[in-house]
Every structure is written in structure tokens, then in C-alpha cells.
Structure 1
Amino acid sequence: MKILLSKNIKTTLTTSFMSSLIYACTMPFMIIYLAKHTPTGTAGIIVILNVAVSFLAGIIGGYLADNHQRKRILFVFQTLYAVGLLTIVFNLSGLLAHINWLVVGYFICGAAYNFYTPAYSAVVLDSTTRENRKKVYQYEYWIFNLSMAIGASIGGFAFKNYLLPLFIGAVFMQLIVTLFLQMNLRYENKIMDRKDTKVIRHLFSTYAKVAKDRRWLMFVVGMALYQAAEFTMGTYTGVRLSKEFDMIHLFNIAIDGVRMLSVLQVINTLMVVFLTFLLTHITAGLKEKYVVFFGLLIYVTGYGVMATANSITLLVPIMVIVTIGELVATPLLSAREVDLIPDDKQASYLSFSGLSFQFAQLVAGFALTLGGFVSAFYISVYIIVLGVIGVLFVSISLYHRKHQKTNPEATSRI
């Protein structure tokens, strides 16, 4: 049966593609840039501080999305994201030459993104129906990875010689994306009439209620621990490859460590683009909980091994295997996640879920700092052990019978 998508869904999917493209060709390479211009340990601390700022922004963003018009929130903080990119442009151009200005721009981008993401996620969820929700999240996953492939390719090959033009282009594209969303999104959310003016107290009481949902808390912690495995590609593994990978030539193109990182990301994303729906079809008849568990197990183990690998003949096959694990598990996970969210607390739950992204970045940032003191082998162990714990948490929270909802439709899909 053909599933029709509303204009709002088409608009948000288009915006998701462009926003992810902007991120993919800029932010991951900022970490490598910082590592080149500061000691490795300092770069790791900057990443961790950025995560802390983003963490607070995510909490506040979820509260704002539940209590204010989400479309307005998107406009304000997507514009602020452009300001962060512009600050980085001023640093790279020499107008604000001190490295601290680049760090400020990096922090602004991290905070702005997390201020508006809960609102964006709630808009997407509100725009879907039970009939098209799973398909929409599959499309979003597919589009996200396509944009990441294109962005990684652009960023990897522009990093060494065209970094300033890259960020100038990102500023203009971010402004275009912001205007496009405002002009095409037809959306207005209900806001609860609340007499309590003590905003801070209400904010923390809202998240305290979410945190009391033990099943959701376990799910979020598990998500953070297993996602950290992939995030180490952009922190520890990316920085290590930029320093240790011996340059090779493929088809007369020089491939250094930074470009090798881009090649791996492109392989990952091209597989996602061309194989997502095929692998979803192949695994459709299998038990969902086993597909998710073993898919994620392959995923975290592969990224852990890549933290020590320096050979293209090892890195590429591992990335292929890792991506297969990702493809069979992630779309199922995204669709299952929304079944756990109460209708009246969508943005708060989604924002709390978004904290897994921040915690994962924190774990990955700590790997970069830790890498200044221990060998790559111990970083691999660190990634795999935490990742396996995360996989267990996610599997238990979603599929353990003790925690299952008494929803026959949800149970029948397990």
C-alpha cells in the first residue's frame, strides 16, 4: 500500500537533509582542527565542555518545545546556529584570530543545535500517523545518512585547502534552510495554560517525572553507551588516523588520515543509502529483538576494533560489517522508541532521549582525552565494554517482558 506524506513531513525531511549536510561537512572536522592546533588532551577537554553546554541546552530546549511555539523556537535557534558558523568563519579568516573565538563558535553551534532539536523532533512526531510513522522514520534515517555521506566527502576533501570557503558556504546554506522551513512548515502546537511562573522549578520537575520512568531511563543510558562507539570515529579514531595513518594513493588521489576517515564515512553512508530497504525486507521475518541485539553487538564491536586499525585493508571490511549491523538494527529501534512516549510529554521525552546524544559525545570525548595517556588497545576495550553494556540496556528496556506495555499491537511486533 502506497503511503502518502504530508507537506509538513516533506518539509521536515528536506530540512533534515540540508541540516545534516551542513553538520557533516563542518563540525566533525572541527575536532580534528582543534587537535592540530591544541594539545590532544586540551582538544578532548574542549569536546567534553561542549557536550556539557549542549547537555544543558538540550534540557532547556525540551522544556521550551513543550511550553512555547515550536516553529518560533526553530527559527530563533537555527539562526543562532548560523551565527556560530559565522564566528568560526571570522576566526578562520583572521578577523577574530585567537583560537578562543573558534571554540566560542563551536560552543554556539553545539548549544543552538540542542536548543532546537527537541522542537524539531516533536514536529516530526506530530506530523506522522500510526500508519506512516515507521516509514517516515526509515526515510529520515535514509536521508540523514545520505547527507552524512555527501557532507563527509565534501568536508574531507576541503579540510586541508578550502576550510574557509567551506564554512562560508555553510553559513549561507544554514540561513537558506532556516527560511525554507519557516516558509513551508504549516504547524502550530498546543501550549498548556500554566499559571506557575517559576520556570526553573517547573523545568526540573518535568524532567524529574521523565527520569522516574525507569524503562525510559534505561533505554536512554543504553542508547548513549552504544552510540558512543560510533562517535569515537569523529573524536579518538579520527584524530589518531590524522596523525598515524600512512598516506596512500588510490586512482592517483592522495589519501591521508583525514581523507581515510571521510572514505570510511562515505562507505558507511552509501551502504545505508542503497541497502537500508533491502536489509529491512530481508530481516522482516526474523524476531525483532534478536535482530536489534545482534545488529547492535556487531556495531559496537566493529567501531571498537577500528580504534586500533591503521590499514585500509582492515578498516574498509570492518566498516562494511559495522554498517550491516547498523542497518538491520537502527530503523527498528527508531520506530520502537516512539511507542514508549506519552502523548502529552512528547518534547520532554524526546529531549530527555536527546541527552543520550550528549552523553555519548561525552564518552567519546573522554576517549580522546584518555588516548593521550593510554594505548589504542585500551581505548578499543573501553569502547567495546561500554558499548556491550549499552546494547544490553537497550534490549532489556525494549523487549524484556517485565517492562512490556499491555498494548497488544506493540507486543505482536516483538
Structure 2
Amino acid sequence: MKWSDWDINLKVRLIGEGTFNLLFWMFFPFMAIYFSKHFGQETAGLLLILSQFIGTVIGLFGGYCADHFGRKKMMVFSGAGQAACFIFFALANSPWLESPFLTFISFSLLGLFGQLYWPASSAMIADVVPEKYRPGVFAIFYTSINVSVVIGPLLGGFFFFKHRFALLVACTIVSFILLQALRVWIHETVPQSAAACKKENGSSGWIPFLKNQFRDYGVILRDRIFLLYILAGVLVAQTFMQLDMLIAVYTSDKVPDQTLLSFGGWSFTASGHQLFSLMVSMNGLCVALFTVLVTKWMARYREGGVFMISSLCYGVAMILMGSTVNAWLLLFGIVLFSWAELMTVGVQDSFVAKLSPPELRGQYFATSGLRFSLGRTIAPIAIPMTVWFGYPATFIILAAVAFLGMMLYGVLFAMFYRRQRVSLASKNV
């Protein structure tokens, strides 16, 4: 799908969200360090877990609101909330005031408004892009995020610690510009069926709202294929969520200093910490460079095979990285790890769009996010597992979990393809 064929909504959002994400990743990776310094590690960890849990719940409401109140309305509402949060975020780190508590409140609310924004954002892409082009468009948006992940932390390492107030002021200005762009240039994309459903079931008050919310999510969770998709995703997430958890601890704790390159009298020696930074950068760079290319390649194959082979690669990568301290083998492991991620980048959102009826599309996207939110909530248990079982056994257990996810993908896609055949046969009758 050519850029000239893109809906104006997509063009405005790609440019605006890309700029916003770049600034976001200039402070986000360092917030755990900030909170640990001011609150202590245990308190900071508990606060962040609580914030993430609330964000997960809010994200489900975000999907409902996107379907019942409109994509644009929710995106504008969320954008206004984020802009307001940045005002207080910047104020709490200004020359006139330093308040870790206000910083935490602002940062947490920023995340909550983000949870309201993204279900509407993903649903809008599915609304305006024909099915055969969705994997490519989703891949481009994902690439934009990963470019920010590569560049943002490199810049943020300087600006966050030395010019934090200026960075947050820039975030505030950009958020207001994005809000104005959303208000002026994008249009509503809720399908007519969803709009009609809203009018038919429209009612005022929080009790009817909650009843409708739980009714719709009950419909979604009775979709056995989609439920298996979430469960398999949570299992596989236990591997790729370990990049900044178990793999970070393992390389820092067990990997010795090693000379990676040597030429004449010059050599490059990396410690475990430096090797981990290199692995993270390599992962982000692989995803940023090859997402669109690999997504086009994967679009030629059936989704079931793509998801299963991706899970297999995650498991093999975990076994490899947990069984060596050799820097080059670890780097090869992270390349395999990145390949597994690349395989499903564009396919996963396209598959959710294919499963979801138009009137519930926002909620399907919000619910599919449970794969990551629940996965990230469970993933930290790998750290104490290294004490209970040791590093090699922990990596093997996580690989086994990925292989279990692969088997679940096999079951769910067998059901999905059977459903497609039945549906096609009924249409031909």
C-alpha cells in the first residue's frame, strides 16, 4: 500500500506519534532508576506494579470506549489528558519544584491515558486499511516505535539526567501539537454497524455502562479461539519479556569481560553490562530495520505456521543464551530472539482484526493487549527462579513455556481454519 493511498488519519498519526514516541523513550527507560533513587527499590517496584495493574484494567475500558464513543473522541480525550499530565510532570522536575511524589502521579496517569489511547489507535488502523494491507501498515507503525526505542534512550541518557526539565517541556509542547493535529485533521472511523449498536444500546449512567462493558467482554471471552490466542500469547511473552529482566541479570552477573574485536594494537573489550546494552541495541536495530521486509515475507504464509515457528525460535534462543557466556553466541542468540519477534510483528494485529467483528474491534484489540500486560506482570518471577533452580534450569523452563505456547497456537489455528472452512461452505450453499 503506497503512502499516497494512505488515509489522512494514518499519515497524521504516524508523524505525530513517531515524534511523541521518540521523546517518550528519552525518559521512560530511566524512570525505574529515578523512582528507586527517591523511594527505594522495594517501594518503587510495588508502586510500578500497582500502576501497571491499574493500567491493564483501564486499557480494557479504553477498548469499550473506542467502540461505543468513537476512535477520534477517545484519542482526543487521551491526548488532552497526556498533555495535562506533562504539565505537572515538568513542574515536578522544574527549577522551582522537585517532587518525586508528583512525578510518580503524573507518570502513572500518563500511562493510564496511554492505555485509553492505543486500543482506539489500533482499531482505527483496522477501520481504514483493507485486510490484505493491514500487516504492512501495522508493521510500519511498529517500526516507527522501534526507531524511537533505538534512538530515544541514547539521547535520553544525556537529556534526562542533565536537562530533565527542558526534556519534559519539549514533551509538553509536542503533546499539545499532537492533540491539535488529532482535533483538526483526523476523522471518525467507527464502522456503521458499531455506530448503530451504540444507538440501540445507548444508556446513561455508570451502572448501565459497566453492564454493557462486561456483557461485551463476556462475548469476547466466549470466543474460544481468541481466548486461546491470549493464553498462548501470555506463555510466549514469558520469553520476550525477559530481555530487560532475566537476560539483563544474567549477563551482568555471569558473563565475564571479553574482547569482542581486536585489530593491531586496538581492541574492544565489553563487560557484562556493556554486552547487555549491545544486545538491547541490536534487538532494537534489527526490529527497526527489518520489520517491514519480514512482515511482507511472513504475509505469504498462513498465520498458524508463523506463530508456531516464532515460538519455537524464542524457545531455542532462550536455551542458547542460558547455556553460554560467550559474547558472540549471546549476540547470535539475541539475533534469533529478534527474528522470532519480527515474524509476528505485523501478523498479530492483522489476525486480531480478522477475528473481531467491527462493532467490537476496539475491545478485541484492548483484550489482546492482555498478552503483554499479563505477560509482563508474571515475567519477573524468573528472577527468584534463578536462586531456586539456577540460571541454566530457569532458561530451560522458560523455553519449555514457549514450546507450550507453540502447541497452543497449533490447537487454536486448527480451530480457526476449521471455522473458516465452515463459514465458506455456508456461504456457498
Given the two structures, how large is their TM-score scaled by the length of structure 2? 0.79
Question: Pairwise mapping of residues 20-39 of structure 1 onto structure 2 (< 5 A)?
Answer: 20-39=21-40
Contact in 1 for aligned 2:258/2:327 (Cα 8 Å): no
1:303 Cα offset (Å):
5.5
1:346 Cα offset (Å):
0.9
Structure 1, residues 202-222: CA drift from partner, whole Å, max 9, x if none?
211111111111111111222
2:232 is aligned to: 222
Q: 1:203 aligns with which of 194, 209, 213?
A: 213
How many residues align? The count is 410
Matched, 1:171 2:172: yes
2:341 is aligned to: 326
Structure 1, residues 95-131: CA drift from partner, whole Å, max 9, x if none?
5545433332332122111112111122111111234
Structure 1 residues 310 and 254: alpha-carbon distance in aligned structure 2, compared to 1, 3 A threshold: same
Aligned-pair identity (%): 22
Contact in 2 for aligned 1:87/1:104 (Cα 8 Å): no
- Structure 1: stretches of 5+ with no match in the other structure: 410-414
AA aligned to 2:212 is: H
Deviates more, 1:395-404 or 1:13-22: 395-404
Contact in 1 for aligned 2:225/2:415 (Cα 8 Å): no
Counterpart CA distance in 2 for 1:311 and 1:155 is 30
Question: Pairwise mapping of residues 152-301 of structure 1 onto structure 2 (< 5 A)?
Answer: 152-156=153-157, 158=159, 160-187=161-188, 189=190, 190=195, 192-193=198-199, 194-197=201-204, 198-235=208-245, 237-238=247-248, 262-280=277-295, 288-301=303-316
Counterpart CA distance in 2 for 1:305 and 1:332 is 26
Matched, 1:361 2:376: yes
Contact in 2 for aligned 1:293/1:329 (Cα 8 Å): no
- Structure 2: stretches of 5+ with no match in the other structure: 425-429
2:147 is aligned to: 146
Contact in 1 for aligned 2:311/2:405 (Cα 8 Å): no
Counterpart CA distance in 2 for 1:37 and 1:256 is 28
Contact in 1 for aligned 2:18/2:148 (Cα 8 Å): yes
AA aligned to 2:215 is: S
User: Which is higher, the Rg of structure 1 or of structure 2?
Assistant: 2
Matched, 1:348 2:363: yes
1:78 is aligned to: 79
Counterpart CA distance in 1 for 2:394 and 2:344 is 24
Instruction: Indicate the SS of the match to 1:187.
Output: coil
Contact in 1 for aligned 2:55/2:115 (Cα 8 Å): yes
2:427 is aligned to: none
Contact in 2 for aligned 1:11/1:185 (Cα 8 Å): yes
1:178 Cα offset (Å):
2.4
Given the two structures, how large is their TM-score scaled by the length of structure 1? 0.82
Contact in 2 for aligned 1:32/1:239 (Cα 8 Å): no
CA RMSD of aligned residues (A): 3.8
Matched, 1:316 2:317: no
Counterpart CA distance in 2 for 1:288 and 1:132 is 15
Counterpart CA distance in 1 for 2:382 and 2:25 is 21
Counterpart CA distance in 2 for 1:22 and 1:374 is 40
1:362 Cα offset (Å):
0.9
Structure 1, residues 287-306: CA drift from partner, whole Å, max 9, x if none?
65333312232235536765
Counterpart CA distance in 2 for 1:44 and 1:196 is 40
Structure 1, residues 286-332: CA drift from partner, whole Å, max 9, x if none?
56533331223223553676589877544432222211222233323
Instruction: Indicate the SS of the match to 1:405.
Output: helix
Deviates more, 1:396-405 or 1:124-133: 396-405
Instruction: Indicate the SS of the match to 1:332.
Output: helix
Counterpart CA distance in 2 for 1:39 and 1:374 is 27
1:115 is aligned to: 116
Instruction: Indicate the SS of the match to 2:420.
Output: coil
Contact in 2 for aligned 1:152/1:266 (Cα 8 Å): no
Counterpart CA distance in 2 for 1:184 and 1:255 is 48
Contact in 2 for aligned 1:223/1:390 (Cα 8 Å): yes
AA aligned to 1:340 is: L
Structure 1, residues 214-262: CA drift from partner, whole Å, max 9, x if none?
1111112222332343333334545776788888999999988777655
